[in-house]
Amino acid sequence: KDEHQGYRDFLVRIHKETRKSFQAIDKKVEINWMSMNGGLAKRMFDQPTIDALGKTVTIDHYIKTSPEMGEFIEYFRKNFGARTVIGEFGAPIPEINGPMTEEQQANFIDELFQELYKHRDSVHGINYWVTYDSSTAVLNQNYSEKRVVDVIRKYFKPGVVKGRVTNTLGDPLRGVMVRAGDDLSKTMTNDKGEYYLLLPIDEVQLTEAC
């Protein structure tokens, strides 16, 4: 007998009853963010359960290296067609990451956000843990900002890159692919030759290909 099936059934029942309760009061609330650590989620979830929970897996996931986050996101996408909510993440966790200076924390979180940005089509939501009074805090004891705040800000308040592509006569070119230099963001020009991209605030190089 599958030792996890009872808990899976419990999660599905919670989801159904909670959804019915909000429907009864005519409220649209997304209620399938039932978090657990990533390793447990891998062992616990199967396709019927993930389907019943709206193809969403929520993980509270603290990691040693940033690629690990992408590996978990890809695991649920490839194996179950699921999107992932990062219910909790942050650094440093002393027993995982050891001590970090402000600069080391900022660099690590930047790498983590780059990984989340890389897999953004499969990431449904993220929640940094925590703001204050923890090893992962982004504020000092006097409430001043640590360096990591600027890192987080550039992803939550992205830059806008927009422009227009024309030929040598000034006529707009439709359907031109415009790519960011990181090869992670791309878009097509519209009928007016215009393009629009949202990118983390940083220097960016654009390339065009017909």
pLDDT in tens, 119-134: 999 999 999 999 999 9
pLDDT over 60 (residue 162): yes
State the average pLDDT over residues 49-53.
95
160, 130 in Cβ contact below 8 A? no
Residues 138 and 106: their CA atoms lie apart, in Å, by 9
Q: What six digits make up the tokens of 6? A: 């009872």
User: H helices of the chain, where?
Assistant: 5-24, 38-44, 47-52, 67-80, 94-97, 102-118, 148-156
At 171, is the pLDDT very low, low, confident or very high (cuts 50, 70, 90)? very high
Distance CA 59, CA 61 (A): 6
Average pLDDT, the chain: 92
| Dist CA 48 CA 62 (whole Å) | 27
Residue with tokens 């359907």: 175
Q: Give the model's pLDDT for residue 32.
A: 84
Amino acid at 6: G
Spell out a b/e string for 45-81, using b for 16 or more CB atoms within 10 Å of the CB, else e. beeebbebbbbbbbbbbbbeebeebbebbebbbeebe
203: confidence class by pLDDT, cuts 50, 70, 90: low
What SS3 state is found at 187? strand
Q: What is the pLDDT of residues 54-110, one digit of tens each?
A: 999 999 999 999 999 999 999 999 999 999 999 999 999 999 999 999 999 999 999
pTM of the entire predicted model: 0.85
- Ordered DSSP codes for 124-175: EEEEE--SSSSTT-SB-TTSPBPTHHHHHHHHHS-EEEEEE-B-TTS-B-TT
The least confident of 6-20, 63-77, 174-188 is 174-188
Please give the Cα distance from 38 to 31 (Å, whole number): 19
> What is the per-residue pLDDT for 15?
94
Phi/psi-derived region of residue 107, left when phi > 0, alpha when psi is between -120 and 50, beta in every other case = alpha
Question: Is the predicted pLDDT of residue 142 greater than 80, yes or no?
Answer: yes
pLDDT higher for 109 or 161?
109
Check whether 206 has a pLDDT greater than 80: no
Higher pLDDT, 207 or 83: 83
Which two structure tokens, joined as six digits, stand for 113? 């956000």
